[in-house]
Amino acid sequence: MAFASSLVAPLPPPPPAARAGWRRARAAPRRLVLAASSRGGGSAPAPDPPTFDRLREQLLQLHAEADLTQSKANSARVRLVRLTEAAENLKKRAVVSVRMGRENEAVELLVQKKKLTNALENIKERIELLDKLSAKISEKFSPNFIRLYI
């Protein structure tokens, strides 16, 4: 039984939920469909060599993925800076509260600072992950770019 594969256009996204209307819509991933053939051939035909248009489309998709990944990493970096400043401000406010004799308020501020510190660690991990992903996309991008122009 021989198998043929083809890319199917992505399904339209489901209607957005009421509270998720502010989120950016994600593009649906392409799905690979395998079709079985009942013809008796024994061996599958050799795959078609990549055409210029197909390579160009793949190249554009990789470039778009790399841009999106870099955009996510950059926005995470901005968020990291903002939260770092907020943690420093909480620490300063806690010091002032202790000096003024409001220990309970200082404890609450330090608890908030601890939560922010945990969020900062998560953001740092996300930035590292996005940078690794971007590097892998770039690695995939280079051979396709070379094949396209050679």
- Mean pLDDT in runs of 10 for the chain (150 residues)? 47 52 52 48 63 80 86 92 94 93 93 94 94 84 63
The answer as to whether 42 is a domain residue is: no
The answer as to whether 40 is a domain residue is: no
- Please report the pLDDT score of residue 74 as a whole number: 92
- Please report the pLDDT score of residue 122 as a whole number: 94
- Measured distance CA(43)–CA(3) in Å, rounded: 10
Query: 4: Cβ–Cβ under 8 A, 6 or more apart, which residues?
Result: 34, 35, 37, 44
Query: How many Å separate Cα 115 from the centre of its chain?
Result: 24
- Please report the pLDDT score of residue 28 as a whole number: 53
> Is the full-model pTM beyond 0.75?
no
* H or E, element range at 94: helix 52-99
The answer as to whether 24 is a domain residue is: no
- Please report the pLDDT score of residue 25 as a whole number: 52
Q: Residue 59 sits in which domain range?
A: 52-150
The answer as to whether 27 is a domain residue is: no
The answer as to whether 41 is a domain residue is: no
The answer as to whether 103 is a domain residue is: yes
The answer as to whether 17 is a domain residue is: no
Give phi and psi for 35, each to the nearest 5: -115, 130
Cα 87–Cα 79–Cα 98 angle in degrees, nearest 5: 10
- Please report the pLDDT score of residue 41 as a whole number: 53
The torsion angle over the Cα atoms of residues 102, 85, 123 and 30, rounded to 10 degrees, is 130
The answer as to whether 64 is a domain residue is: yes
Q: How many domains does the chain have?
A: 1
- Please report the pLDDT score of residue 11 as a whole number: 54
What amino acid occupies position 65?
E
Query: Which tens digits make up the pLDDT trace of 39-82?
Result: 555 556 666 677 778 877 878 888 888 889 889 999 999 999 99
Q: In 26-60, which positions are buried (b, 16+ CB within 10 angstroms) versus exposed (e)?
A: eeeeeeeeeeeeeeeeeeeeeeeeeeeeebeebbe
- Measured distance CA(81)–CA(79) in Å, rounded: 5
